[in-house]
Amino acid sequence: MSNLRLATFGGGCFWCTETVFLAVKGIEKVVSGYSGGNAPGKPTYREICSGLTGHAEVIQITYDEDIISFEDILVIFMTTHNPTQLNRQGADVGTQYRSVVFYHNDQQKEISEIVIKELSQYFEDKIVTEISPLDIFYEAEKEHQDYYKNNSTSGYCSFVINPKMQKLRQLHADKLK
């Protein structure tokens, strides 16, 4: 019997974080979307890219807590993007690319605070990952779902996503499907 839970993270471009988590054992589903802003109504990708909505590109993960813990998912998240870059990941710049954990309950908030504090010793620069309550999650347009699977030969996938996947395999091989 599965024990399904939700987790929502923003770590730069959602195409990267989606790809990382689709490879992890215990992850049942990953949906790319938007969260954390204040614009009225469901935003579009174009609106998000403007930086004016306040939303971040995020993924919402459905995971089986009997197979993988929120803590393990958070460690994978924190070590497969750069949590020390404010409002950017690599060449992607803007608040829509911020590092953020949108917690679903007080337990996720507490675990996030503890894990980030523990991991901070491994980073030269200060971790700037935001920890905020999830208000609303908007699913991104269809072309942003399963992006890597549908576009694996694109330059973005080759130069940005593939190195993240290599890092995932190096650091978390025991957690992969």
Q: Report, as residue numbers or ranges, the catalytic residues.
A: 13
Cβ–Cβ < 8 Å for 7, 70: yes
Residues 63 and 103: beta-carbon distance below 8 Å: no
Structure tokens at 118: 């523990």
N-to-C CA span, the chain: 19
Question: How far, CA to CA in Å, does 5 sit from each of 77, 88, 145?
Answer: 16, 28, 20
